[in-house]
Amino acid sequence: MKIIVMNVASAALVFLLRYLQMVKGLSYSVILLMLMLNILGMYFSRVAYRYLLIYTSKKKKQESAKRVLIYGAGSAGRMILSEILENPRYDYHVVGLIDDDVDLHHTRIMGTPILGGVEVLDRNLDIDEVFIAMPSVSHAHRQRIINSVSQLKIPTKIVTSSDLLIQSSDFRRSMRPLNVLDLLGRPEIVINDMEISNTLHQNVIMVTGAGGSIGSELVRQIVKYKP
């Protein structure tokens, strides 16, 4: 806005000088043309400078940021990608996405490539972290994804809930690191120590095969309950 005001003021002054015949050799049409060219030139130079700053800052961020692969190009994956691209506070650079939908392979989302399917994990992608963004798939499907990604042996986080991802102002709050239970693919078994103690305490216990690794470990665990 300041650019327009300054140029209009300058043109008005030249118009006045021309009207008072203090400036000769300039027609009113030439003055108007100069005004428009000045405004456009200054505007586009500022826009070009702004995009140059964005480009250089993006390049610097890519060099220092964690290289991330997003598994899932659906709504959850797109939301995470959009947040990372639009918010400079996230220290991530999305190398690409992968998805099980073959129709999406080798296309782009917001300029970021969808590299392919699970077979992409066999490539040397030079990534620091994986985000699994497929909260709506079945348990069996999710387990296959987790088993495939875990072979990379790099830090991996998983989106726990689509609702939490939508409601949260920071996508990281909707994610958690993979743990042993994810790899087991079943719920955690909680041991009831009190019930075991009531069963074993001051009772005579016989363990067969106590000389083997499993039997010897079983004996060590039983001894704690003072049979």
pTM greater than 0.95 (yes/no) = no
Mean pLDDT of 139-144: 88
Question: Is the CB of residue 31 less than 8 Å from the CB of residue 11?
Answer: yes
Least confident of 162-166, 202-206, 209-213: 209-213
- DSSP-based helix, strand, coil % in the chain, nearest 5: 55, 15, 35
Taking the C-alpha atoms of residue 110 and residue 76, their distance in angstroms, rounded to an integer, is 14
pLDDT tens readout for residues 85-119? 888 788 899 999 999 999 999 999 988 999 999 99
Place of tokens 């991802």: 165
Question: Is the CB of residue 109 less than 8 Å from the CB of residue 97?
Answer: yes
Three-state DSSP at 70 gives strand
Least confident of 40-44, 57-61, 142-146, 154-158: 57-61
Q: To the nearest whole percent, how much of the chain has pLDDT over 70?
A: 78
- The CATH-assigned architecture of domain 65-184 is 3-Layer(aba) Sandwich (3.40)
Confidence of residue 202 (pLDDT cuts 50, 70, 90): confident
pLDDT surpasses 80 at 5:
no
pLDDT surpasses 80 at 167:
yes
CB neighbourhood size of 93 (10 A): 19
Q: Of 37-46, 47-56, 118-127, where does the model show the most confidence?
A: 118-127
* Tokens matching residue 57: 């800052």
Higher per-residue pLDDT: 35 or 112: 112
Mean pLDDT of 25-44: 71
Mean pLDDT of 202-208: 82
Higher per-residue pLDDT: 145 or 180: 145
